[in-house]
Amino acid sequence: MTEVVVLGGGYAGIMAANQLAKSGVDAKITLINDRGDFQEKIRNHQLLAGTLSRKYAIKELLHPSVQLLETKVTALDPGKSVLYAGESAISYTYLIYAAGMVAGGEKPSSEDYALVADTKESERMARRLNTTPNGRITVAGGGLSGIETASELAERYPESQVTLLDPAPFGKNFSQKARQYMFDLLTRKGVVVLQDRILSMEPGRVRLASKRILEHDHCILATGLRATSLAQQAGLACDDRHRVLVDRFLHAAPGIIACGDAAVIEESPLRMSCAMALPTGAYAGKRVASLIKNGGAEMKGFHQDYTIRCVSMGRKKGLIQFVRADDAPKNFILKEGKGAFVKELVCKFTVKSL
């Protein structure tokens, strides 16, 4: 029987495994993940703020015919079609590589720093924040996850002083209307939006390019994403964010199909996002089904247009930025309660769609 291993139980990996299982092909499907609970990373800012109401086990999201193996993969050997979890070797006919992302930037070892892209770190910082509800919080990184984190924390801890810091002008990649809305809302919540660059991070403070020293009780780093390094360590061709290069059929190497944040389509790079992890994951599952059935002959290459970008601004407000197919912002936005409603719907849909 064909053995398919899916590495990574995030949005992309679960979607891929389920699509393959639903196709009904004769294959043994094993999904490997290093923890049994599903990391709903698009809600990590809620995990930080303690506003997350529901958690899922990977098992309950998986098709019943998919086997879950809870272990950490330590190496890949693409030449031998084998991956390793410590001393144990696991062989495969097809590997769906969906090992996802980790935080892009560095983090000092000091306890007052945490990476919002990392679930364990967010859990740890949530406990810490809870003990000092009126602390000084710096959120470094003014992208989508930084804006969501600053809003969520300012709402959850109104006695705290939140500063959102980024070297670029606020709200890059958003329309003027969206930028203004988010800026006004953050300011009303008491968040100080600062355009400055961190030169060094020390316990309790960051040194800025403007020569200012910004002191904090907690510093949340939302400074970007990169892919897990396994593919790069295995000698597969990767970009500078460790994403394995794939063609339009998501092939990375013979027998290896890659999806989600772990992969990048060389000829048309996609934004690292849940919005693309789901469709690339679905495609990867269908692609392997088609390869097993008839060598993949009838399938077209992957294509997906962008439609919206969603930002939660606390629990009651949000912003939906409509975008063109190429992800460039249009003028049209939804905001306030309507924005929060759509954002919440999208978050729920991501889990339901698996």
Q: Which residue stretch of 27-35, 184-192, 237-245, 287-295 sits at the interface with ligand FAD (rule: CB under 6 A)?
A: 27-35
Asked whether 293 and 131 are in contact (CB, 8 A), the reply is no
- Asked if 39 contacts 121 with a C-beta cutoff of 8 angstroms, the reply is no
- Is residue 19 involved in binding ligand FAD (CB under 6 A)? no
Minimum Å distance from CB 51 to ligand FAD? Answer: 12
The nearest distance, CB 269 to ligand FAD, in angstroms, is 14
Identify the residue among 4, 5, 6, 11 touching ligand FAD (CB under 6 A). Answer: 11
Helix, strand or coil, per DSSP, at residue 332: strand
In the DSSP assignment, the letter for residue 229 is S
Which residues from 315-354 bind ligand FAD, rule CB under 6 A?
A: none
Is residue 141 a contact residue for ligand FAD (CB under 6 A)? Answer: no
Q: Which of 177, 210, 181 is nearest to 194 (CA)?
A: 210
| Neighbour count for residue 74 (Cβ, 10 Å) | 13
**Residue corresponding to tokens 């004769």:** 26
Select from 5, 12, 126, 220 the one that contacts ligand FAD (CB under 6 A): 12
Spatial CA neighbour of 120 closest among 198, 54, 56, 34: 34
Q: Shortest gap between Cβ of 254 and ligand FAD (angstroms)?
A: 21
Long-range contacts of the stretch 206-213 (C-beta < 8 A, 24+): 206/138, 206/140, 206/165, 208/165, 209/167
How many amino acids of this chain bind ligand FAD (CB under 6 A)?
Answer: 37
Taking CB under 6 A as the rule, does residue 99 contact ligand FAD?
yes
- Count Cβ neighbours within 10 Å for each residue of 154-180 and write b for 16 or more, e otherwise: bbbbeebbbbbbbeeebbebbbebbbe
* The binder of ligand FAD chosen from 5, 117, 234, 334 (CB under 6 A): 117
x/- mask, ligand FAD, residues 253-292, rule CB under 6 A, reads: -------xxx---------xxxx-x---------------
Asked whether position 230 contacts ligand FAD by CB under 6 A, the answer is yes
Footprint of ligand FAD (CB under 6 A)? 8-13, 32-35, 39, 41-42, 44-45, 72-73, 98-101, 116-117, 144-145, 148, 228, 230, 260-262, 272-275, 277, 310
